[in-house]
Structure 1
Amino acid sequence: MGLQGPALLVLLAPAMLWLLPWPGLWLGVLAMLGLPWLLRRLPKALARRFPAWLRWLPEDLAFVGQLLYLNVAHKTSASFVDMLEERARDQPGRLLVVDASSGRQVSLGEMERRSCQVARAMGAVLRGTVGLKEGDVAALFFLGPQGISALTLWFGLSKLGCQVAWISPHIRGAPLLHAVCSAGSCILVADPELQEAVETILPELTAKGVRCFYLSSTSPTKGVEPLKDLIERASSDPVPRQIRAGVTNKTRALYIYTSGTTGLPKPVIFNHHRILFTSLTLRTCRVSQNDVVYTALPLYHAAALLACIMGCLELGCTCVLAPKFSASRFWDDCRKYQVTVIQYIGEILRYLCNTPARPCDREHRVRLAIGNGLRQEVWKEFLQRFGPIRIFELYGSTEGNIGFINFIGHMGAIGKSSPLLKVCGVPLHPHTLGFPLAPRTVHPPDGGGKQGYW
């Protein structure tokens, strides 16, 4: 999308002729639409005499048009698992995820097959050993290098209609116990490298009836079962849709936790509708199927898991997943995997600017940077050093109630207000300026749910 100026007027003219019976009126409307386009070509000193909302009207119209197009042309599936199955059926050989640390590559078809193995090993109806069923909650507790394995578990558990809680591997003791139990988890699947953290809370988990597993062939901890061989022995045959017959786009699917800076981490509920809508973020930022997206953010954050991984699944493009951020290795990874889109958050771009200058700083294919928390001075320095990269600055929080996107690329700003967006007043997309988003629920410590607006 992104139509501007004369092209936008040409497309709108027939609609004006059909909707407005008075020639003078529709000519006046076309003149009003053409005026901002002309203003953008006037000297800046003269253009500033006109209101800001009028100067940016073409961009606002193009952005709203893009949102309308996404909502009409891209019908969402009932669940994100349905979307995985559809993509895997249509393009099984398409590369979905690459692990930058090991070089392991997983196609859509392989992700589908391995997630079916997870479902068959753990599903009660499928006679799996673990015996999970629709509506059960499973907690995942993994380090970054196990990202692909954790994704496989997530998709497989979701095929059963289970809800999954992604828990930060950095919490310990009481916060970890609270994170597992507050989501109502009946099992915990952990990275064997996190043995010490699991053993610390194991007696309390056992007393609450939570079964614990390591994703390994053996278990060094009494009371924790190994899971890897069970999955490897399971069939990869497709899992019948009837197994999750009760799942709709309003069904709870995922729990992402708040940081815990104001108390214990709290699980925020994501239903399938919200996951699917968030997956349109990359498409909104003009990422295409031929792009390669690079993220070094942890999967227990919505930015990497939903906007990036799910965004790549929705588009059919490839995500390069780094287990952790490394400023010294960042651009080498981008060159190695021919990355065209990078994801950032917080001070990541400042860290890149603080690395020693190299002759190859501009030798890359990156054309877009998508994220949030970029200061104006870093924005300017980043472009001067690494080249003309289009930056889409976003704002949103896991438990927040609004989202912003700087779709005009104005340096140093999250976004802007527009009378046009205020007049629309409908929830078109999670990152529409000033729009209320989908209903959300945050679990308080007592395990109940408190309704709000996301």
Structure 2
Amino acid sequence: MSHADLITLPRLLSRLPRLLVDLPGIVKGLHIGNRSRGANPASLASCVEKAAQDNPQGLALIQGDEQLSYAELDRWSNQLAHYLRDRGLCQGDSVALMFENRFELLACVIACAKLGVVSALINSSQRGRVLAHSIGLAEPRMLLVGEEMLAAYEEVAVDVALPASACLYFADRPTWRDPGEAPAGWMHPAAELHAYPVDAPLLERAVRADDPCFYIYTSGTTGLPKAVVFNHGRFMRGYGAFGFAATRLGREDRMYVSLPFYHATAMVVCWGSVLAGQAALVMVRRFSASRFWDEVQRHQATAFGYVGELCRYLLDQPARPGDADNPIRVMLGNGLRPSIWKAFRQRFAIERVVELYASSEGNIGFTNLLNLDNTVGFSPYPYAIVRYDQEQDAPLRQNGHLQRVARGEVGLLLGKITDKSPFHGYTDARDTQRCVLRDVFEPGDAWFNTGDLMRDLGFRHAQFVDRLGDTFRWKGENVSTTQVEAVLDAIEQVSEAVVYGVEVPNTNGRAGMACLRLGCPADEFDFGVLLTRLRKELPAYAVPLFLRLSAQLETTGTFKHKKAPLKEQAYDLQRCTDPLYAWLPGSDRYVALTPELQANIAAGVYRY
């Protein structure tokens, strides 16, 4: 860490003029957040309805050559809501949504919100057992599937066991004007919507802030995904905080978002900011580093959403003379590492970086309101950064209580659970309780354990350092080591497996590495079958890039694998005497790691 990252009083005072200009928006954002609690009326749908009323002809969504105004989006989602209710969907029910980034996903989310129905935002990269598990967690009354996800669903249809009347199909085209055809046995709503009312459906009870809005899936630390309960009040707080207080978009703005909308960064932070400004969302099917700036120019986007890995990919692209000549004013997201922060801002002439810290399940958030470098910003919520023992894998207690770190030090981030910063948890109460620490500073208090290491920069500002435990972040995704270990353990001749994240030079996050104990000599083990199985059963970002073969895996007295030494040794041939293997970019097999390959990886010859 550079000492320049520490927040000083002169550094804060230098931002005071800008803060005063932004103060009305900050006050409005806080007001929206404060009233979006408990039984107070609050709904994601109200944000869309307000934009449709105030700015009906303003562009709401853009994708390629397709565009929808706010009035068109609201009418479409109203018709879809009436259709769903006509098929038996009731307030409090849940539906599973399986789409890639496309207008239909957002229209379905809005329609469900209008009915008080919970949308389960299924990760479009999930397959097989993991996908079936995620759908099952939501206990959906219906399943809405895009054509692009049909094959993935059909693989698990028997396990999910929903009746044909509950399975709705959307062709991979602009279905609001061209419904296309549905496969035999599937409901086809797009072909029937024209017969339904265009006004909003009436409910027996208004949607409240504490009503669940959607489920967002997180890998957590226990293996299979967990469904995080994300309520309407929390969406509204994001809408207020990021839309009015931080990002401050207007009707002429366009935000380019290539992040997946099954994650909260895109669905809540980016879209919430767009709705607050009644701006346009440029929705991109999937991220492309080579096309990014051309598409920004094409759509004249003035903002974009990011995760840190996205920024590194853009920085890795060959420099072009016009890199700084782009219409972007503000970037909004999380994970921009200090190692590339200033280089990115300078090369692409970014005026404002709204870096944030939050998690789908957490009760604590930080936002870089003051446009300071190398910080996730400020948090108005009660939190603590406490001393953490890496060897014991637990926070340090003295005299029964935890200890706060000093300014400039690193520790575990905790969010205090209060009426104004509640922890809503997961669909499984046991998962919820595992994340709560009690008697932290005084008897009876309760704090959410984020599982993240943060550096205290002073003046209630912090800097993200790393993730703890059985989850690490790679390619902008959280990887559950337990989930990867379960796949490895099912492979013949793999007797034991432990998975962890390791640092790769010039990348963000940590790449997956697996230490294996085999039931046969290494020259008899089929590494080709191993990689094929991993690629089939795991998302691409979760497949380990490095392997280590060990005759014995060290465990604690309670039979937990000791990961700290493995993480420290990583794939360093000088520190590790076990055989090491690497899956190189663009290849289809693991190869034995040599000093030359290791040097090339360190030098960035291979782009992970």
**Per the shorter chain, which TM-score range?**
0.7 to 0.9
Q: Which of 205, 209, 213 matches 1:249? A: 209
- 5 Å matches for 1:365-384? 365-384=327-346
Q: Does 1:121 align with 2:104?
A: no
Q: Which structure ranks higher in relative contact order (CA pairs < 8 Å, sequence separation ≥ 6)?
A: 1
SS state at 1:110 partner = helix
* Cα deviation 1:148-205 (Å, max 9, x = unaligned): 0111111112222211111011111221112112122111111122222211221222
Q: Does 1:190 align with 2:145?
A: yes
Sort the Cα spacing of 1:282 and 1:69 in 2 relative to 1 into closer, same or farther, 3 A. Answer: closer
Taking the aligned partners of 1:162 and 1:364, their CA distance within structure 2 comes to 40
Higher normalized helix content (fraction of residues) = 1
Taking the aligned partners of 2:9 and 2:344, their CA distance within structure 1 comes to 28
Is the 1:138–1:187 Cα contact (8 Å) retained in structure 2?
yes
* Counterpart in the other structure of 2:260: 298
Taking the aligned partners of 1:151 and 1:143, their CA distance within structure 2 comes to 11
* Cα deviation 1:262-288 (Å, max 9, x = unaligned): 411111111111111111213222423
Taking the aligned partners of 1:152 and 1:73, their CA distance within structure 2 comes to 24
Taking the aligned partners of 2:260 and 2:187, their CA distance within structure 1 comes to 26
Is the 1:393–1:413 Cα contact (8 Å) retained in structure 2?
yes
Taking the aligned partners of 1:78 and 1:151, their CA distance within structure 2 comes to 18
* % identity of equivalent residues: 32
Which structure 2 segments of 5+ residues have no match? 172-179, 385-413, 437-446, 449-608
Residue type of the partner of 1:263?
G
Taking the aligned partners of 1:183 and 1:201, their CA distance within structure 2 comes to 15
SS state at 2:371 partner = coil
Q: Does 1:85 align with 2:49?
A: yes
Q: Does 1:104 align with 2:59?
A: no
* Cα deviation 1:202-241 (Å, max 9, x = unaligned): 122226999322214544365x43332133x332431343
Q: Does 1:283 align with 2:244?
A: yes
**Aligned residues between the structures:** 384
Is the 2:141–2:166 Cα contact (8 Å) retained in structure 1?
yes
SS state at 1:257 partner = strand
SS state at 2:192 partner = helix
Which structure 1 segments of 5+ residues have no match? 1-47, 423-432
Deviation at 1:92, TM superposition (A): 1.0
SS state at 2:275 partner = helix
* Counterpart in the other structure of 1:403: 365
When the two chains are superposed, the root-mean-square deviation of aligned CA atoms in Å is: 3.3
Sort the Cα spacing of 1:139 and 1:318 in 2 relative to 1 into closer, same or farther, 3 A. Answer: same
Q: Which of 225, 235, 246 matches 2:196? A: 235
- 5 Å matches for 1:275-354? 275-280=235-240, 281-289=242-250, 290-354=252-316
* Counterpart in the other structure of 2:425: 442
Residue type of the partner of 2:46?
D
Q: Does 1:199 align with 2:154?
A: yes
* Counterpart in the other structure of 1:220: 183
Taking the aligned partners of 2:346 and 2:14, their CA distance within structure 1 comes to 27
Q: Does 1:176 align with 2:131?
A: yes
Sort the Cα spacing of 1:110 and 1:209 in 2 relative to 1 into closer, same or farther, 3 A. Answer: closer
Higher normalized strand content (fraction of residues) = 2
Is the 2:244–2:273 Cα contact (8 Å) retained in structure 1?
yes
SS state at 1:279 partner = helix
* Counterpart in the other structure of 2:471: none
Taking the aligned partners of 2:60 and 2:255, their CA distance within structure 1 comes to 10
TM-score by length of 2: 0.57
Q: Which portions of structure 1, spanning 4 or more consecutive aligned residues, are displaced by more than 4 angstroms? A: 57-61, 63-66, 73-77, 207-210, 416-422, 433-437, 444-454
Taking the aligned partners of 2:46 and 2:125, their CA distance within structure 1 comes to 32
Taking the aligned partners of 2:71 and 2:42, their CA distance within structure 1 comes to 20
Sort the Cα spacing of 1:443 and 1:114 in 2 relative to 1 into closer, same or farther, 3 A. Answer: same
TM-score by length of 1: 0.76
Deviation at 1:418, TM superposition (A): 10
Taking the aligned partners of 1:94 and 1:419, their CA distance within structure 2 comes to 35
Q: Does 1:141 align with 2:98?
A: yes
Q: Which of 355, 374, 382 matches 1:412? A: 374
